[in-house]
Amino acid sequence: MSTHANASYADAQAGAAITKNGTGAATACMQCHGANGEGQATGGFPRLAGQGRNYLVKQLTDFKAKSRINPLMQPIANTLTTAQINDVADYYASLPGWKPAASPVPDTAQTARGAQLTHRGNWDKGMPACFACHGENGAGIAPHFPAIAGQRATYIAKQLKNWQAGTRSNDPQGLMKAVADKLSADDISAISAYLENPK
């Protein structure tokens, strides 16, 4: 295992062992985030495979510092050393990211609305497109803007509601809070449904 704090010394192999077996009091990451970091739709656990390493390091560090609150992740992050956080992040970042489904998902009025908000925003409300910050096709821009294409709809919806409620606030300069406050419940459902399998 790496003993260096710097992410450039992270050990993806050690990270893989933690995700599969856990370490100390921390349970195996795969129990919630899936065997290959694909996430779990029913539990609202996010896809981590292919996510940017620096973003993952920041989130785990924020859970540990209590600047991002989650009753499941807090105790896990608290047991990880800085080196282990880097190792886990390096492992998940090394996995293949989301790819579009071979068979296109049929459009619905909801996903069409989600596509509009995601690609073009809603300038009547001063809301930029999701992809304006999260990169072309939602692939993410390190270190602050994660990949959101292919993310679980249950997770996206929950995070947008958390930003609205102020229970999540670890975004740069309050950008997500400002965006989330402009979204209706229907907008959140539409964006979440679309992002799970965007075109």
User: Which pLDDT tens digit goes with each residue over 20-62?
Assistant: 999 988 899 999 999 999 999 999 999 999 999 999 999 999 9
CATH class label, 7-94: mainly alpha
Instruction: Give the start-to-end residue ranges of the domains of the chain.
Output: 7-94, 109-196
pTM: 0.90
In whole angstroms, give the CA distance from residue 31 to residue 132.
33
Asked if 7-94 and 109-196 have one fold, the answer is yes
Superfamily for domain range 109-196: Cytochrome c-like domain (1.10.760.10)
Give per-residue pLDDT as tens, 151-189.
Answer: 999 999 999 999 999 999 999 899 999 999 999 999 999
